[in-house]
Chain A
Amino acid sequence: MHSLTILVVDDDPVTRNLLQKRLVKENYEIDLAENGVAAVRQLQKKRYDIVLTDLKMPGGVDGIGVLETAKEADIKTEVILITAHASVGNAIEAMKKGASDYLEKPINFDELLMRLQKVRNTKALIKNASDLREAMNVTEQTSAETIQHLELLCADFQARLERIQSILNDTALAPLERVTRALEI
């Protein structure tokens, strides 16, 4: 599978750079944003598989704002929140708004990698399902065309058969006349 792109959003430069180093090592493609406002700008320019964002950030846009922008830009983007223990309640609220997971500070990297792996697996499953769906659509469309063609053909034959039948039963016509006309159909 291709490497997933992650946007890391955190106002603390130390955390930001640490996250970048660790995740690049794990073969994720990383972009950084130093706050919510920068993240929003970035999300409007490029699509990401995952957004990893701090919940509480200075400036006009917090983690929830980032979540909303990310989902608006692409509903397939998964958002994982990073939160201090004290604001776990907010993180749970955010999950109701479509965040896929949250992590408590200080970040435990093993745990983070596990969560990311989970998202990666889910994405693989979704891709699988959508490939299957696509294959099914193609099959369904092709068979639909065949069936509809046959359906019309059958209806046409049926109508002709009925006309032939009614001519052959038409006692107002001489028998030979009936056959001649029936053959013309």
Chain B
Amino acid sequence: MIKIKPDEIALLSKYIYGISGISIDKSKAYLLETRFSKILEEEGCSSYTDLYHKAKGDPRKRIEHKIIDAITTNETLFFRDGGPFELMRHKILPELIDARAAKSAGSPNLRIWSAAASTGQEVYSIAIIIRELLGPSKDYRLKLLGTDISDAAISQASYATYNKFEIERGLERSKLTKYFTSAGANWKINDEIRAMASFRKLNLMAPFTALGKWDIIFCRNVAIYFTLEDRKKLFNRLADVLEPDGYLVIGSTESLTGICPRFVPKRHLKSIFYQLK
């Protein structure tokens, strides 16, 4: 295996930060070797410097995409942490539906964004909750969007197919039989759930105001990879695109204290969500 040199660690960390905002601590430099050795081989690179130049010199960004797929941690599971989904079912969705129904005469809009959707489990967990709570009714218009910086993650999310290890995690048997169909050794989300969601690629470091405003934003377990400065900027920009009475859900071990004073934490049952001041 080709070894990475100290100056190459600096070079690549800076490059990765530039394309993704992901900040690689010096102590995590081993990650570069374990995650990039395959790309090095596939691209026939003689060194990490070589890889860097090839990636920068590629106008179609093919190598850049590979690097992003390799450096991102796509760890996720259906109904991760439980709490946020109970929160959706018992608090956020009922409150929001009431509030929107009171405001407009027609069927209310529900706009929900999973800002680091990874391979889609979070989005489909939300979709399942909505389906169970509201049924297939036409009484609301749903926009449920999942975005992620990783092409590989987004394409799996769109494909909506999971292997048994992904399925075993977090998914109750009753939900598996109800919302999935076995496809060989894998499971595919049923069309009715799949059709509720859409996915696209998005780097959270880039502007996202064009996506419009949101009633609910899930931004879980992604800011942890960013610097404190970038976290502050990100949550500030999320505050800009959240409706005044909208809801923000972050990862269960994340905190906004000292990060974005525009959000206030609120507790419901065993979970916390955030609203604008």
Q: Determine the chain B residues whose CB is within 8 A of the CB of A158 once the complex forms.
A: 261
Please choose the segment from B40-48, B87-95, B122-130, B251-259 that sits at the chain A interface, where 4 or more of its residues have CB less than 8 A away.
B251-259
**Docked-complex contact B265 and A152, CB < 8 angstroms:** yes
Q: Determine the chain B residues whose CB is within 8 A of the CB of A133 once the complex forms.
A: 169
Query: Would you give 16 A-B contacts (Cβ < 8 Å), ordered by A?
Result: A75-B168, A95-B185, A96-B185, A98-B185, A126-B165, A140-B252, A140-B253, A148-B252, A148-B272, A150-B255, A150-B257, A151-B256, A151-B257, A151-B265, A152-B272, A155-B257
Does A147 count as interface, using CB distance less than 8 angstroms? yes
Partner of A147 from B164, B168, B253, B267 at Cβ < 8 Å: B253
Does B207 count as interface, using CB distance less than 8 angstroms? no
Does A173 count as interface, using CB distance less than 8 angstroms? no
Determine the distance from Cα of A76 to Cα of B165 in the docked complex, in whole angstroms: 9
Q: Which A-chain residue is minimally distant from B264 (CB atoms)?
A: A155
Does B25 count as interface, using CB distance less than 8 angstroms? no
Determine the distance from Cα of A155 to Cα of B255 in the docked complex, in whole angstroms: 11
Q: Determine the chain A residues whose CB is within 8 A of the CB of B164 once the complex forms.
A: 75, 98
**Docked-complex contact B255 and A151, CB < 8 angstroms:** yes
Q: Which are the 9 A-B pairs with shortest beta-carbon distances?
A: A144-B252, A98-B185, A96-B184, A154-B257, A148-B272, A151-B265, A143-B253, A144-B253, A155-B265
A124-180: which have CB < 8 Å to B? 126, 133, 140-141, 143-144, 147-148, 150-152, 154-155, 158
Not counting A96-B185, A98-B185, A152-B267, a sample of 12 additional A-B residue pairs whose C-beta atoms are within 8 angstroms of each other reads A75-B168, A143-B253, A147-B254, A147-B255, A148-B252, A148-B272, A150-B255, A150-B257, A151-B255, A151-B272, A155-B264, A155-B265
CB distance from B269 to the nearest CB of A (A): 11
CB distance from B81 to the nearest CB of A (A): 7
Q: Determine the chain A residues whose CB is within 8 A of the CB of B254 once the complex forms.
A: 147
A residues at B contact (CB < 8 Å): 75-76, 95-98, 126, 133, 140-141, 143-144, 147-148, 150-152, 154-155, 158
CB distance from A88 to the nearest CB of B (A): 18
CB distance from B258 to the nearest CB of A (A): 8
Q: Determine the chain A residues whose CB is within 8 A of the CB of B219 once the complex forms.
A: none
Determine the distance from Cα of A111 to Cα of B169 in the docked complex, in whole angstroms: 32
Q: Determine the chain A residues whose CB is within 8 A of the CB of B272 once the complex forms.
A: 148, 151-152
Determine the distance from Cα of A126 to Cα of B169 in the docked complex, in whole angstroms: 12
CB distance from B241 to the nearest CB of A (A): 22
Q: Determine the chain B residues whose CB is within 8 A of the CB of A97 once the complex forms.
A: 184-185
Does B97 count as interface, using CB distance less than 8 angstroms? no
Question: What 0/1 readout, one digit per residue, does chain B (151-176) give for beta carbons within 8 Å of chain A?
Answer: 00000000000001101110000000
Q: Determine the chain B residues whose CB is within 8 A of the CB of A140 once the complex forms.
A: 81, 252-253
B243-277: which have CB < 8 Å to A? 252-257, 261, 264-265, 267, 271-272
CB distance from A65 to the nearest CB of B (A): 15
Q: Determine the chain B residues whose CB is within 8 A of the CB of A96 once the complex forms.
A: 184-185
CB distance from B265 to the nearest CB of A (A): 5
Determine the distance from Cα of A155 to Cα of B273 in the docked complex, in whole angstroms: 13
Q: Determine the chain B residues whose CB is within 8 A of the CB of A151 once the complex forms.
A: 255-257, 265, 272
Residue of A95, A150, A152 with most chain B CB atoms under a 10 A cut-off? A152
Q: Determine the chain B residues whose CB is within 8 A of the CB of A126 once the complex forms.
A: 165
Q: Determine the chain B residues whose CB is within 8 A of the CB of A154 once the complex forms.
A: 257
Q: Which A-chain residue is minimally distant from B252 (CB atoms)?
A: A144
Q: Which B-chain residue is minimally distant from A148 (CB atoms)?
A: B272
B174-193: which have CB < 8 Å to A? 184-185
Determine the distance from Cα of A143 to Cα of B271 in the docked complex, in whole angstroms: 13
Determine the distance from Cα of A158 to Cα of B261 in the docked complex, in whole angstroms: 9
Determine the distance from Cα of A167 to Cα of B257 in the docked complex, in whole angstroms: 24
Q: Which B-chain residue is minimally distant from A154 (CB atoms)?
A: B257
Q: Determine the chain A residues whose CB is within 8 A of the CB of B165 once the complex forms.
A: 126
